[in-house]
Structure 1
Amino acid sequence: METSSFDVSGKLPGTSSLFRAADAALVAIAGMAAIEWQAARTGVEVSPIHGLLVYFCGLATLVVFPAFQLYGSWRGRPIHELAIRSIAAWTVVFAMGLLVGFLTHQIAYVSRLWAALWFVTGAAGLTGLRLGVYTALRKARDRGLNHKRVLLIGFGTLGHDMWARVAATRTAGYEVMGIYCEGKEQLPPGVRRLDDLRAISAFVRQHEIREVWLALPMEAGQAVREVMYFLRHDLIDIRWIPDVLSVRLLGHRVEEFLGVPAIELNSLPAAGIRGVSKAVFDRVFSALVLLGLSPVMLVIAAWIKLDSRGPVFFTQPRLGVDGQVFRVYKFRSMTVHEEKNGVVTQATRDDRRVTRIGAFLRRTSLDELPQFINVLRGEMSVVGPRPHALEHNEQYKDLVARYMMRHRVKPGITGWAQINGLRGQTETVHKMRDRVEFDLYYIQNWSFLMDLRIIARTAISGWTGKNVY
């Protein structure tokens, strides 16, 4: 049975076809309205190619949109992903229309203003329809309508968490009717207990269960097979929610690998298109900073040369993304000296190695400005975990859990830890552990908006710190 992308009703046939027709109609209506507007604006009849593109794109939506999974259930999933998929699908269809105009040698007759208006109104209509229905259904589910009944298998830590999520997210429209657990755990009020897997099929049919959720540990393969066997005659959705939350890694998602589904336990939020956008932003932003602050950097360079003997820049090997070693650039803030092999001494209060201008540069973090060169070279990012000396990596990787996970992404000039006060000397394991936890939080919750917030807070108040010497 095929259901709509909004799961209007699990038992109403043809709902998907209705929404497909609505999508095609919206595309056509937006295009024809733009044609009428163009004709009224210019007072001249538009070229027939405009109508041809409208009809072609209207039909193309029937083929392209299903490929973007716009007609599967969206219950319990984030609304912004639905909007992004809708706009992406419409962009592909629109590009196909322009390609048709190009191949028929009619693209020169297509009004760019009309095309822009059609694209914007089409995107607004398609996303507006989905967001409107999505919102209406959320409100209906919040009032107890359009609910799906669920049987939960397992009531350990993950099972408790899943039940709590259902209770806290009424707008998702799920209702836990029963819970299977082997122990004597206290179940939520009103929820039926099952203690025999062989009874789950009868329970599913008696209570019209629509979904079964397996909140079981990853090693519970035998229990999963038993559930699948007992429910082999029941046409319902079965979701296995393995307890990857207890595995403290960076992220997890299911991808197809060599033709089979694979759970990626170390997946990164800033990957794919999002990763490309971050890389492009880094390069453009760094180029603008280096260009805009070049007079300041020249003054600092001259001041360093006048203040003490030695080079302007200090370079040191650091660990980059996935363990690649690079040399980080800084303005030299100390007198030239040699460290013992395998030892890197962090700067401390009243450190005699720090020069007069060096103290000022370190307090204000102006010594970090040359690292925008590293960003421009692709070795660093504007925002990310701060790179530590190689010796510190060796020191802390066995003392701080998941320490090396921070090197799955490019190191940054500033980061989530730094704007939250974790800057400067880390003379204790506890301080380093706190910094690493903030770094991993950033990696797991990365978004472009989060980067902009960190940059803004760094620009306003993040350049100094009481622990920076």
Structure 2
Amino acid sequence: MRDVGIIKTHGEEHILIYRMVDITLILLGFISIIAFYVGSWDHYYLLALTVAILAYSVIAELAGVYNSTYYSSLRQTVGPILFCWTCSIGVLLCLAFAFKVTSHFSRVAIGAWLIYVPSALLFYRLVFGRLSNLLGSNSYKKKSIIIGATSAGLSLAREIQSNKHLGLKLVGLFDDRSMDRLPAFPNSIPIRGSINDALHMAKERDFRHVYVALPMQASERIKEIIDYFSDSTARVYIVPDFFTYDLIQSRWRNVGQVPTLSVRDTPFYGLTTFVKRLEDIVVSSIILTLISPLLLAVSIGVKLSSPGPIIFKQYRYGIDGKKIKVWKFRSMKVMDNGNVVKQATKNDPRVTKFGSFIRRTSLDELPQFINVLQGRMSIVGPRPHAIAHNEEYRKIVNKYMLRHKVKPGITGWAQINGYRGETDTLYKMEKRVEYDLTYIRNWSLWLDIKIIFLTVFKGFAGKNTY
């Protein structure tokens, strides 16, 4: 056996408890209600229960219900839980309709169960939240210190002080630099002394947790500090200053026994890839069915407005920077698709009268739902730009190409936040990219649903669309 240290995952045990309690409540509620209303139950009920548990577990995982931002806040949890359980009900109803088994179930019992589950899931989270606040009171908190008055140390201190559910109490920061060389910190975050002072306090068991938050380049100093605290029983943690790299979908991975960290990655792996594709197929199929008369009407309007094809196909960058053809209803008299593509501006003479109308209302983008079915685009994602614009902005906008970590979308986080249409200033493009990267960092099925919903109300038209 090789004498090496292996980094193991830790800290998600409480999230596992939430998963187990969710499944237990669904199961116990089903058994109790069916026993009360029906008395005995056959394999149809067992199948319905199994499908509901599997559907909810998968959808909740993908919707981010078990992310730390959700389990620590009941208010943030209500929407995702109701959404996940509604989707689970939808799966049950579809299967029941497909296999014609609805007559085998008690409508009263199943209805009571469907209402009970979200109520129980939200109620116990409310109780757990209150208990977490109680256990997070000063009398129960584990005393902790931070070595290093750095930006990483400040960020950690703020997290400890603002999140009671962590069960930590900040004693203070310790740094060997003199007070006149230390950065200005809030009064609520005290600097208590030198690292030697911290070691002395550790020997006296004045605290249990030590967080070393020095810059990564100070590796030798970090090793010395860790050696210092080996003369105590305090638990020592290293706070890697990875956030200087602007992490996007960062993940730990072990290559053999060597831990690695992906700095900038895609949110779509395995099941999430399948769910995203299923979302695109279902939503685009429904929308194309509903708008088929509108597609015909716009096609006729484009054909009558000026000579040329109805559909304009333009090369753009897709996922991983690969070229894709994006379809739009033609709105101009010309079809720029080369090394120089000029963005449409107000009163642009290239835009036809009918083209101006469909651009303002986003009707010109409806054929992109076909691109979604083809797998080139997604319903939600960063808007694709002409290749000429990509090559221009990648040179002047920091992290511009990172928006290609996912498929381009018909709508996105930037669009519903007002950054749609012409980007006539560098600032507008920088803000669009900022919102695109925020979407990639925080992707979840719930976020996609939220963006689609908000697009209906404020994402189709914009004052910068010409």
CA deviation digits over 1:45-94, x for unaligned, max 9? 7789x99xxxxxxxxxxxxxxxxxxxxxx9x87517999xxx9xxxxxxx
Q: Percent identity?
A: 35
* Structure 1 equivalent of residue 194 of structure 2: 195
Q: What's the CA shift for 1:181?
A: 1.2
State whether structure 2 residue 405 is matched by structure 1 residue 408: yes
Question: Residues 107-256 of structure 1: matches in 2 within 5 Å?
Answer: 132-141=127-136, 143-183=137-177, 184=179, 185=182, 188=187, 191=190, 193-196=192-195, 200-232=198-230, 234-256=232-254
Q: Structure 1 313/244 Cα, relative in aligned 2: closer, same or farther at 3 Å? A: same
Deviates more, 1:122-131 or 1:451-460: 122-131
Separation in structure 2 between the aligned mates of residue 337 and residue 5 of structure 1, nearest angstrom: 57
Q: What's the CA shift for 1:119?
A: 11
Separation in structure 2 between the aligned mates of residue 190 and residue 348 of structure 1, nearest angstrom: 51
Contact 1:200 1:231 in 2 (8 A): no
Contact 1:419 1:462 in 2 (8 A): yes
Q: What's the CA shift for 1:443?
A: 1.8
Q: Structure 1 420/226 Cα, relative in aligned 2: closer, same or farther at 3 Å? A: same
Deviates more, 1:219-228 or 1:407-416: 219-228
Q: Which has the higher contact order (CA 8 A, sep 6+)?
A: 2
Q: Structure 1 362/257 Cα, relative in aligned 2: closer, same or farther at 3 Å? A: same
CA deviation digits over 1:158-195, x for unaligned, max 9? 21222122222334321122422122236756846342
Separation in structure 2 between the aligned mates of residue 167 and residue 139 of structure 1, nearest angstrom: 15
Aligned length: 408
Separation in structure 1 between the aligned mates of residue 113 and residue 452 of structure 2, nearest angstrom: 36
Q: Which amino acid aligns with 1:164?
A: R
Q: What's the CA shift for 1:310?
A: 1.4
Contact 1:282 1:381 in 2 (8 A): yes
Separation in structure 2 between the aligned mates of residue 385 and residue 28 of structure 1, nearest angstrom: 40
* Structure 2 equivalent of residue 65 of structure 1: none
SS at match of 2:347: coil
Question: Residues 339-354 of structure 1: matches in 2 within 5 Å?
Answer: 341-354=338-351
Contact 2:380 2:412 in 1 (8 A): yes
CA deviation digits over 1:176-219, x for unaligned, max 9? 2242212223675684634245x644422313422211222233
Contact 1:214 1:224 in 2 (8 A): yes
* Structure 2 equivalent of residue 306 of structure 1: 304
Separation in structure 1 between the aligned mates of residue 370 and residue 457 of structure 2, nearest angstrom: 22
Separation in structure 2 between the aligned mates of residue 404 and residue 81 of structure 1, nearest angstrom: 34
Q: Structure 1 269/290 Cα, relative in aligned 2: closer, same or farther at 3 Å? A: same
Q: Tell me the TM-score normalised to structure 2 length.
A: 0.74
State whether structure 2 residue 384 is matched by structure 1 residue 387: yes
CA deviation digits over 1:122-163, x for unaligned, max 9? 99879966763453132342x423101112111111212221
Separation in structure 2 between the aligned mates of residue 259 and residue 332 of structure 1, nearest angstrom: 55
State whether structure 2 residue 359 is matched by structure 1 residue 362: yes
Q: Structure 1 304/195 Cα, relative in aligned 2: closer, same or farther at 3 Å? A: same
Deviates more, 1:408-417 or 1:123-132: 123-132
SS at match of 1:164: helix
Please point out which of 276, 281, 284 is paired with 1:283.
281
> Where does structure 2 lack aligned partners over 5 or more consecutive residues?
1-9, 47-65, 82-103
Q: What's the CA shift for 1:301?
A: 0.9
Contact 1:151 1:204 in 2 (8 A): no
> Where does structure 1 lack aligned partners over 5 or more consecutive residues?
8-15, 52-73, 88-110
